[in-house]
Amino acid sequence: MSAAVVTGAGAALPTTIDQDAVWDGFFAGHYAGLRAARRIFSSSGVRRRHAVANPLDEDLSTWGTGARMQRYVQEALPLGKQAVAGALDAAGLAPGDVGLFAVATCTGYATPGLDIRLANDLGMPAGLQRLLVGHMGCYAAIPGLAAVADFVTARSRPAVLLCCELTSLHVQPAQADLEQVVAHALFSDAAAAVVVQPGARRGRRVAGIVARTDASTADHMTWDVTDLGFRMGLSPRVPDVLSRHVGDVVDELLTGVGLRSEDVAGWAVHPGGPRILDVVRDELGLAETQLAASRRVLAEHGNCSSATVLLVLDELGDVDGPVVAMAFGPGLTLYAAVLLPA
């Protein structure tokens, strides 16, 4: 059976907004009287991020969910198309070569979905297999990668994974709720895609996947569908739960491929926030420089939910050696993948 190798990546980012400007121009009024809000924004680790709905230009906080979903389709299609086309071009493939197209998203839904609409628009074959990875949250890229890698290995056909998240469509009405402030300080919009091919001699081979869910902490991170969009619940205890599990997950992942932590050349850690990265660094005994790519993505792009870890992988560039990718989300769930040189 052929190895599944990541051979191309592409991304698309909407309008860039400055963190200080969006605080001064919108959220300072949104959270007037909530003294901690300014400190949360300034300590988020985010300098710039991206939004299809810029709060400085339009306030969606009173929009109904139906209107937000219509806007999602309108905005996601061109971003998704750009990201997938870029990934296919980087891999040297045509749309007609693709056997499976998987889309991960937790910020918008429609039927026919992005998978059908984009496949048709890009010229993918009529017999294309499709998969929607829905509402898993920030870690969805890793199980999505596992699914497409399994397809590539079993079918010896190329596959594409697209992660497209538009969190700016879910700005919430003003409330004295610090969890909402944290979410509004961190989250951002992006589309990112990867191509996985069978037996390629260049790229990164998907060598192992490990998952861990601590169901006893399910209330620590939530993403609820409401009449006014999707609402984030985000407990400050999330980093503490992560600290209990991340070491065991990485040990299991690396042991499965005969590696140790010191063998890893690149760490693509989902930057859920500064404290998340601090916990991973401390629990794994990493140097701060080993998280530089994750810190840069957080600073320049914010937390783009499922698309973020793919942006970090791209930020790492062509590091020489094994790469570990990790992401975290509702459940609480940790997912990790190890990619080896092809």
pLDDT in tens, 53-77: 999 999 999 999 999 999 999 999 9
Pair (160, 56) in one structural domain: yes
Mean pLDDT of 106-115: 96
CA distances from 91 to 10, 59, 125, 194, 201 (A): 10, 39, 18, 9, 12
Pair (219, 324) in one structural domain: yes
Pair (249, 193) in one structural domain: no
Interval 270-294: pLDDT, tens: 999 999 999 999 999 999 999 999 9
Residue 1's pLDDT is 72
The model's pTM is 0.97
138 part of the active site: yes
Element (H, E) at 152: helix 141-155
Pair (94, 142) in one structural domain: yes
CA distances from 158 to 3, 137, 146, 194 (A): 11, 25, 14, 11
Pair (284, 306) in one structural domain: yes
Of 147, 168, 198, at which residue does a domain stop?
A: 198
Pair (188, 100) in one structural domain: yes
Pair (40, 180) in one structural domain: yes
210 and 336 in contact (C-beta within 8 Å)? yes
Interval 120-152: pLDDT, tens: 999 999 999 999 999 999 999 999 999 999 999
The CATH number of the domain holding residue 270 is 3.40.47.10
Pair (217, 101) in one structural domain: no
Mean pLDDT of 49-55: 97
Pair (211, 306) in one structural domain: yes
DSSP3 helix / strand / coil % (the chain, rounded to 5): 45, 25, 30
Of 140, 173, 198, at which residue does a domain stop?
A: 198
Residue 176's pLDDT is 87
Q: Per-residue confidence at 2, pLDDT binned at 50, 70, 90? A: confident
Which domain, by its residues, includes 220? 204-341
How many domains, the chain? 2
Interval 69-100: pLDDT, tens: 999 999 999 999 999 999 999 999 999 999 99
Of 133, 165, 198, at which residue does a domain stop?
A: 198
Residue 33's pLDDT is 86
Instruction: Please name every residue paired with 194 in a beta bridge, in sequence order, or none if there are none.
Output: 9, 161
Residue 257's pLDDT is 97
Interval 294-314: pLDDT, tens: 999 999 999 999 999 999 999
Pair (21, 169) in one structural domain: yes
**Which is the catalytic residue, given 106, 138, 163, 304?**
138
Q: Round to whole Å and give the CA distance between 247 and 243.
A: 7
CA distances from 198 to 142, 204, 280, 325 (A): 18, 11, 32, 20
Pair (279, 263) in one structural domain: yes
Pair (194, 265) in one structural domain: no
